Each structure stands twice: as structure tokens, then as C-alpha cells.
Amino acid sequence: MPNIDLIDSFAEELTAIRRDLHAHPEIGFEEHRTSGIVAEKLAGWGIEVHRGLGGTGVVGLLKGKGNSTKRIGLRADMDALPMEEKTNLSWRSTIPGRFHGCGHDGHTTILLGTARYLAQTRNFDGTVAFIFQPAEEGLGGARAMIKDGLFEKFPLDEVYGLHNAPQLNPQQVAVAPGPTMASADFFDITITGYGSHGAMPEMSRDPVVIAMTLGQALQTIVSRNVDPLKSAVLSITQIHAGSAYNVIPGEATLAGTVRTFSEKVREQIRDRIRTIAAGMAAAFQVEIKVDIRDIFSVLVNHEEPSHFVADVAREVVGGENVLTRPTPKMGSEDFADMLLAVPGAYFWLGHEGDVPLHNPGFVLDDKILPVGASLFSRIIEKRMPLAA
């Protein structure tokens, strides 16, 4: 069973919607235009619309033809990245410093295509919730919607999400149960030393030297503390200090991220960061403050829903295009928090293009729009079938 014919019939309209969203990107919690378009489209198709969850989030509710009380959620993220686009597309970003470099414009459009099809057919028994989430890119949009009562106001039995994947072959679907995307902590470390003239370092407590030493020491955590059979990453991504060639500054900062698939390993790394920093502060007679923030949970797909997605995908894209043992990703995704609250699964959909996500030259392949909408729609129809 390939793409749904009805969805294919309005594929050009989906492309137009996606390219409009792409040209007008909005970053996390600023998706006012995007959420307005989403709400208008849903209402126009006769779907009950709820706005304002998590700030700019939108939820659409649609009841099928039967009398079942089962409820399934489908989620798409709406936010862009705070970066410049470097493509020559005629629909490229019109807003400086804003770019849909992760394809969330495509995710939003896929879910709109799903909503349109299901609203026209209602060939399912139960209720579907279309969840349009803000601020996925490290700003906590899923947690904001959950805090605003997403699952209390709209109780769900299951929830599903997807992401475009240029690293997969076109129309390949990858899904697997268990931990599939890493947790993410962000950290900031501030070293307060004592500045001096650059020619008189003996009069300083040089935070720059301490920052370099601390940075090297932190790299031993994964290699010398974490079980080598358990994956973990600690990356220092920022170092800031000083403003002149001949001044040893009084302060230096380090910042970065930690990724793991285990809460135990995650806590171990947090403890070691704090312990090493405290020891170095004592050794160099300076103050070192450590701030570690929980940004993303480990994304854990549930067993049975994952197998179900694979079965649906085999019907839509063919069994040869379904990967059920994909390599877990060190990237993170805040759909993880929804899966902590409700059973479900998250999957990836391949498309043409060899430029990776978050690259200024990334281009989403519009041909995946009807494929993604067909997958989502079949999940609903087959998970909540009408009685024969």
C-alpha cells in the first residue's frame, strides 16, 4: 500500500504550505505566524482547535466515525533555528538569522496534510489529537505544553512523532524500541580568578590557564570513568575569556553539552564535573561555579507501538525500506518527555539530499510530505479501525 491517493492529490498544496513556512521561519516560543496558519487550516477543515499550550502550541481534536473512547496523538514541532540559511532556493528564509535548518517546516506540513486527509475521511474509530509543538530546539517546548496540562486536558492512550532524515535513503523508515536518542545536559562553568598585566602572570590567578587545564581534565570523564560499553559524549563547545592582548582577565567560562542513554551514567558525569571543578578550584585557589541543566530526557520508544509503526511503514514504503535496528543517535529530541508520559514511538523518514541537519545548506525534499502524511494517517486508521 503506497501513498494514499487523496493525500497525493493535494501534495502540491502541501509543498506550497511548507515553502511558505520555510520562507517565514520563527524560533522557539515565537511561532505566532506559524501557529496562526496551523490553527486557521485546522479550523477550516472542521477540526476543533485549542491554542496557547506551551505559549504558541496548538492542539486540534478530530473524532472519527465510531464510538470508541480511544485517543491517539500525533505530534509535529514548528520552530526554526537561530542561524543563517545559505541556499539559493527561491523560497529561502526572508528573515535574517532564522532558518528551518532542521526541517520542522516539513514536520508541521506533514501533520497538516494528515489532518486534512483524516478530516475529509474520518475512517477511524476514536479521537486523534494533532499536537503542534513550539520550541523543540533546546528550549523545552514539550515540557511547556505538558506543564500547561497537555495530557490532562487531552488524555491520550498513545502518541507518535517523526523526523526527516537526510542520512537515510529516500522513503526509508527507521524505528526501534528502547533508547533511541540521547539525553542532553547543557553546562556552564565560570572560573573567577585574579587578573593582572599580561607581563606579570605571577601576580594573577590566571583563569585562562585554569580553563584550559579544566577542559582537558573533563575529557577524562568519558574515557576513564564511564563504562566503555555505555555510550556517552562530553563536548566543550564554548570558551570565553579576556578582551586585550596584554591583560590576564579575572574570569573565564566554559560551556558545553553531555549526551548519554542512561540516567545512571548521566548522573555519574554530572558528579564528576562538579568534583573535578571543586578540586581544581582548591588547587588553584580560585572560585569555580558549575551550572548543569537538564535539557532533554533519553528518548525511549515503547516496544509494541514501535513494532506497529514498522508494520505500517512496510505497507506504505515497502518492507525493504524499513529499518528496525537503526543505530541510536547521540542527538536529542524533546518528544522524549511526551513518551515519558504516554506510550508511543518516534521514527525517522529518509529523503533525498546529502547536506546534514543544522547545516546552513540543508534542503528538505518536499517529496516526503505525502509520504509522511500517509504514514501518520495509516497509523490512525489501523490503530483505531472502524468495526467491520
Q: Which residues are annotated as a binding site for Mn(2+)?
A: 102, 104, 137, 163, 358
Q: What is the DSSP string of 50-70?
A: EEEETTTEEEEEEE-SS----
CA distances from residue 285 to 206, 210, 288 in whole angstroms, order as listed: 10, 10, 10
For the annotated binding site, the residues are 102, 104, 137, 163, 358
Q: Give helix 104-121 / helix 32-44 axis angle, nearest 10°.
A: 10
Half-sphere exposure (Cβ direction) of 382: Cα atoms closer than 13 Å: 17
Element (H, E) at 212: helix 207-218
DSSP state letter for 40 = H
DSSP state letter for 171 = T
Contact 77, 136 (CB under 8 A): yes
Residue 192 bridge partners (DSSP): 251, 287
What does the alpha-carbon distance between residue 203 and residue 28 come to, in Å, rounded to a whole number? 45
What does the alpha-carbon distance between residue 351 and residue 3 come to, in Å, rounded to a whole number? 15
Residue 189 bridge partners (DSSP): 254, 290
Three-state SS at 375: helix
Contact 165, 350 (CB under 8 A): yes
Q: What is the DSSP string of 317-374?
A: H-GGGEESSPPPBSS--THHHHHHHS-EEEEEEE-S--SPTTSTT----TTHHHHHHH
Count how many residues are written for the chain. 388
Residue (of 216, 347, 204) closest to 284 by Cα position: 204
Residue (of 306, 280, 285) closest to 211 by Cα position: 280
